Every structure is written in structure tokens, then in C-alpha cells.
Structure 1
């Protein structure tokens, strides 16, 4: 095991998970004076942090539990290539989560959850700017807004959507089709309107962003172990140290532990006495080698997917599938993104084939209230959590890292963590 040379005025911390959330938090903890190691069974940024759409989506202030979904839900679930689906073999396993999801559609709960989302969103871009500057990777963060485009949708419905966002405090402009193509000339003439979210951004390579955070973490004296955590010794978890057993056979001890394992966090939480309703959303992308001239992400209101310009090509991402952690990738769900991409970027993909692209599927850790689990355990004083960031792991990585680091260091957090604590499900 390599020697960790960071200052340890606040003790040692083991972070379980080397995704964007765990890496960002590791950096912030080192900055706060902790001695930190990160453990991950697959290594740096190997999961959803690598293959996401790369969108810093601060315009997404509405919880996924939307009553407007109810009428559409049966048809969406039955469509094997639809934007929202449950694999038939997984249906009954997902029912308890969906019951909680439905409860969060109630007006009071939905309004409460939306406010909690907004509190994180309002500070997330600033936190990421500061963190990327500190990690010497500002070039991987582009603040050029994003578009939500409409094809053939009535101006009344487009205006209603625009007002919906504006009334929620989101900075947005309504554009005509001509104005859209002035911003992005390569987009199809079929686009009649767009919402231009001016205060959001994207990264052209989310995996490189993870690597940059990891490089800074190691340069500061942090240690990254590629190993699997098998268990936490509950018999001494309330004492001065936490003991952990790794798959390699090694046993490690730490003053504090942070569970930041994304979709794999639920078993660790349960082992420590917390029954959290975490479910796995299987997200897909098709990475095309053709490089677009887009300067910002473009999401489709009608087609329910997003296009992001990347360093190595053009990423087509979207769809939500519930099927657990073990079912294999469904190639057709990645391939179905291609005709949508071709419809919006007809010249770029005129001679392209779906087989040109690289299919990918990753696991999003989602809670029924669309809020992450953050902060100290109410059962073990030296166990902390940061998981369940659903579609906003990249967006919230910087701000949640700062908040968890503040609490772990005994400081007042910039945002009250009450709405995000693990005991809200008790």
C-alpha cells in the first residue's frame, strides 16, 4: 500500500467509490486536512461517471415523480424501446420503489422535493468552477448553455413549458426555429422552437474529468485502491475506528468512512442498519465518432434524448430502464438513439451507420424523491453517505463534495442537510 502524505489533522477517511462524486469528495477532504484513501472495485470513473451525457443540468429542478407521467406511463412501460421502461422480469422487484415514487407525486411532496433540488442546483456550477480550477482542468468545463428543442409542438405548449421553467427560477429564453439555427446551424429545419437555458454547461469528456480529479487527489497525497469492499465490521463501527474487509484479503481501518458507491450503495447502507429505497436506472448512450459543430448540449422535448458534443465524437444519450444491476446491456436500446440523432443532425449523420457507434450502459442510483442521500449516519457517528444523485451526479458532484467535507470536518454546512439525510426514510 502506498504511503499517503496528506495532512491528517482531521483523521483518516476511507471513501468507498471512485466515481465523480467520490473523487470530488476525496479532493475536498484532502483540502480540509484529512488523510484519505478511495476504494473502488473497478477503478477511477468506471461506471456512470464515464458514460453520462456530460451535462451540468441545473435547469432540471423538477423531481422525476411528475403526475403528468401517469396517463403516459402504461404505454411507456410497454414499449421495449421507449424512453421509460421496466424489464418484465424485474417488474415485481421494482414495485416497492414505484409505490414510493407515486407518493412523491403528491403536490406537497413534489414542491418540497423541487425546492431541495434547487438548493443544490443554485450552488453547483460555482462549486464545479472552483473545483475544476483547483484540479487544473478548467478546459473540461464549458459554460455555453443548452437547448431543449421542439419539433411541431404548438407554440402554446412551448410557451407553457418556458413559463414552467421561468416560474421555477430557471434562466431561460424562448427561441424561434430561425434563432435556434443561428446558434446551431447544423440542427434540422424540423425544429420549430427551443428553450435556451443560459446558465448551464457541459463537459466534453466526463471520464477525463474524473481522471483529472483523481490525478489531483493523488498529487495531494491521496491513495486510490482498486479493490472491493466486502464488509464493514459493525462491532467496532461506533468506536474510534472503522474496520473493513477487502476482497483481496486485506483488512483496513479508518477513523471515518464515506459510502459513495452510487448504485452499489444500498447493500452497504443496509449492512449498517439503513433500509434505503434506492433503485437502479440503467442509462444508455451511443457514442458516434463523427464530430458535430454543436457548441452545447441539445435535448429533444419530443424524442426524449440528448446530444452532447464530445472531444472524441458526438454522444447520443437517454432512455430510462429499470432492470437491476445484473441484466446485460440491451443493444437495441442504445441503437434506437441513432435515428433520433440523425433526425436532428441530418448532415452529420447522412452517411453514418448505427454500427459506427459504441454502445454503453451504466447504472444511475435513483431515489423516489429525486434527492441524494448526504451526510452523517444517524446510527454510526463516523459513517457518512453521498449517493443517490440520480441524473445529476455530475452536476452535484462539486457541491455535495463540499457539503460532506464540511460536515465531516465539524463545520457548519453551507446548505442545511436535513432534507437529504438517510433517516428521512425511517
Structure 2
């Protein structure tokens, strides 16, 4: 039976990660009564352990057609940079089949255009958001560096530079001397690299979430620690069934990352092909100030990001679903990968490993949409770019919430590429 009572809550945001919290803050500042619901404390999911890199340069999907040739290695090498757990293979095959379809030329170009549009707006959106909470110092806009060590990799670097230039990604080619001058702690074996001046990083990604939470609370947002088990459309909005009872709201924003598919299907009837890239990091607390900016290795396929609490090594991808326990050897493998990349070996004393779930769709684009007559808003599926695209996603969701859209900030991308009905 439909519930015709007017809900007291304007908007329920399901998910207290960086995207959900940023959305809640934007909506509360529009005068909305907002509640954020998550079974964990805010920021304790993927937002806690991301690489901290604002990866605006990463406009290409993580996979290309070479993934077919790499499939045997992905299955057999538990420590490889791209890993597919063989026990998960039957469940993963339909997703990978759709991934391959999206690597066809026209579909691939649509994906690149969609990623690029969000990334080009991301730094500006973060500048606005952090300025609004008076915390601009949380973000460092000091660029990032992709290095290579083998002479035979130069062709790949030059090809990547050409592709990025074609996509209007700001990029500079650095010689070995330029690398040494900017980051003298790196090994003399490094042949050169690509520097991306329009990127940055956070000194503490978790603190960013916490600061946004405090600003949201000050704007009237309520945070509830509950598990959302189901949802139903109602005449006046949406009813969420939680482990502590029902909660009604006029609108709901689904922003619970890799856990978004079930609630989306319950409310919209659409089965979304959402999977998870399980990402690992290793935090090295005794390596503050080792690097001036984030550094990625082309051959070793991982990133090192300097943070206030040390150096974070991150970057592996594992497809094994939401239920299998983490393989923390993958996190410790990151320290082994770092050997030889710097002049002096990184200290792993008191290091802490971590694993989290990155929500991924087979076309590498998020879903940002308004469906069910405006009662359901969707903001998930950002794969490894959730941190990068969180602020711009919040601005887009704020545009979608009201039937009369707010004036659009300059530079926001059009939403056609991120619609739910593309699946």
C-alpha cells in the first residue's frame, strides 16, 4: 500500500563516503533537510584508503584490448597489478564481456569523452567545495609524475603523451635530469617521465571526509549509522527499510559505491552491471617528505602519494567480489615493488595494509542521474576516480535534485553520458 503521508526528510543520502557526504553538504546548503545513512562511520569505506591522488590526467579506461592476452596472467598471478580471482571468474565473465564490448572504437571514444568531461571539471569543483568550508589547505595542486625506468619504455611514454595531448590533457615530457632536479630521492635509473601540472593530491583523504562531515552537520545534516536493507517507492517519495526500522524521504540519493546495485534495482527495477575493483594500499608512517608530489611507475604500475601521516603506496586492481576476505599480501607487495625506484629503500616499519572496494561499471563511467519522477538520484560507479570526481558529482546531483534546476556553474559536463538507461 502506498504511503501518502508527507515525509519530514527532504533527501536521504545512502552512503557516507566522499561522494555521499559531498552531495549531502551541497544539498543542505540549498536549504534541504538531509539525512545521511551508512552502516559504517563516515569515510570508513573506499574513501578512507584511496591513493589520495586527484587523477584528472587519467582519462582512459583501465583496460584495453590487451586484457584478452593478459587474462591467463590475471588468473594465475596472485600478486599481479591486475588480478582476477579464478573462483570469481564465473560471476565476473558477464561483466568482462560487457567491458570488451565497450572497448570497440565508438564506445571507447564515448567513455574517454565522458571521463574527460568529469575530470576537466574536477579541480575547479574541489576548489569551490574546499573554499566553502574554509579548508583550501587540504588540497595540494602541485602536479604528479609518471616515470619510466627502461629505455624500451620510451616509445610507450611518447605514445601516451601524444594520446593525452590529443585529449587536451596538460602534460610535459621530462628528461631524467628534470626528474632528478624535481624529485632527487628517486633512483638514477629513471629515464624520464611525464609531468601532469593540472593534478594534485590530498594530504589526508580521510580528514577531507571528516571536515566535510563537520560542515554538513553545521548545515543541519543528520548522520545515521544504519544498514539499508531495501527500499520502496511511495506516492510522496521513497521508503527505506533499515535494520532499525523504516525511514521516509521525498527523495533519495544512492551513493553507496560498490554496494549500490541492490538498492538501485529495488527502487528502479534496473539491474545495474556493477562490480568492484578491490584496491589495496600500504601506508608507510616513517616516510614523510620523501616525495614532493605523487609519483607513478609505468613499469611497476603503482603510485606513491606523500601525505601528512607518511607515504601511501597504492594502485593494484583485484576482481574478487565483495565477499572474499582481503589478500593483504597484495598490499605488502607494493613495498616490494618500490625497491629500486628510490635511491634509498622505503621504511616499512609500523606500516599498515588496507583493502577497499572501488565501484566499477563495464564502460568505466559513473551513473549520475535522476529517475523515478525525481524521487531517486544516482551517484555511484566512479571506479578509481571517486575521490577525483566527488566534488563535481555533488554539484551535478545538486542540479538534479530540484525539478527547476539551479543555475549551472561554468564548466559542468552534460549528463547524457552518465544516464542509468544506457544499460
With normalisation by structure 1, the TM-score equals 0.93
What is the match of residue 251 of structure 2? 256
- Does residue 395 (structure 1) correspond to residue 388 (structure 2)? The answer is yes
The correspondence for 2:399, drawn from 373, 394, 406, is 406
What is the match of residue 419 of structure 1? 417
- Give per-residue Cα distances to partners, 1:122-181, cap 9 Å, x unaligned: 111000011011122211100000000101133333222211211111100111111101
- Does residue 386 (structure 1) correspond to residue 379 (structure 2)? The answer is yes
The correspondence for 1:362, drawn from 346, 349, 356, is 356
Separation in 2 of the partners of 1:136 and 1:19? 20
How far apart are 1:329 and its partner, in Å? Answer: 1.2
Are 2:188 and 2:343, in contact at CA under 8 Å, matched by a contact in 1?
no
How do 1:128-207 residues align onto structure 2 when only pairs under 5 Å count? 128-154=126-152, 155-207=154-206
What is the match of residue 283 of structure 2? 287
- 1:67 aligned counterpart, secondary structure: coil
How far apart are 1:271 and its partner, in Å? Answer: 1.2
Separation in 2 of the partners of 1:228 and 1:346? 48
Separation in 2 of the partners of 1:375 and 1:150? 39
Separation in 2 of the partners of 1:18 and 1:389? 15
- Does residue 314 (structure 1) correspond to residue 311 (structure 2)? The answer is yes
Separation in 2 of the partners of 1:188 and 1:292? 16
Separation in 1 of the partners of 2:111 and 2:151? 29
Separation in 2 of the partners of 1:27 and 1:381? 19
Q: Which runs of 5+ in 2 are unaligned?
A: 1-7
- Does residue 277 (structure 1) correspond to residue 268 (structure 2)? The answer is no
Separation in 1 of the partners of 2:66 and 2:164? 15
- Does residue 374 (structure 1) correspond to residue 368 (structure 2)? The answer is yes
What is the match of residue 210 of structure 2? 211
With normalisation by structure 2, the TM-score equals 0.93
Separation in 2 of the partners of 1:380 and 1:80? 46
What is the match of residue 222 of structure 1? 221
How far apart are 1:380 and its partner, in Å? Answer: 4.7
What is the match of residue 3 of structure 2? none
How far apart are 1:78 and its partner, in Å? Answer: 2.2
Are 2:379 and 2:397, in contact at CA under 8 Å, matched by a contact in 1?
yes
Give RMSD over aligned pairs: 1.5
Are 1:229 and 1:246, in contact at CA under 8 Å, matched by a contact in 2?
yes
What is the match of residue 325 of structure 2? 328
What is the match of residue 54 of structure 2? 56
- Give per-residue Cα distances to partners, 1:225-254, cap 9 Å, x unaligned: 1111122123x2xx2122222212x32211
The correspondence for 1:45, drawn from 28, 43, 46, is 43
- 2:311 aligned counterpart, secondary structure: strand
- Give per-residue Cα distances to partners, 1:40-92, cap 9 Å, x unaligned: 10011011101000011000011233124333333233211001111111110
How far apart are 1:348 and its partner, in Å? Answer: 5.1
Q: Once superposed, which parts of structure 1, at least 4 consecutive aligned residues long, lie more than 4 Å away?
A: none
- 1:336 aligned counterpart, secondary structure: helix
Separation in 2 of the partners of 1:244 and 1:72? 42
What is the match of residue 28 of structure 1? 26
Aligned pairs, how many?
Answer: 408
Are 2:294 and 2:303, in contact at CA under 8 Å, matched by a contact in 1?
yes
Are 2:9 and 2:35, in contact at CA under 8 Å, matched by a contact in 1?
no
- 1:343 aligned counterpart, secondary structure: coil
Change beyond 3 A, Cα 1:176–1:73? farther
What is the match of residue 334 of structure 2? 337
Q: Which runs of 5+ in 1 are unaligned?
A: 1-9
- Give per-residue Cα distances to partners, 1:256-290, cap 9 Å, x unaligned: 00100000001101112111100011000011112
What is the match of residue 103 of structure 2? 105
Are 1:19 and 1:47, in contact at CA under 8 Å, matched by a contact in 2?
yes
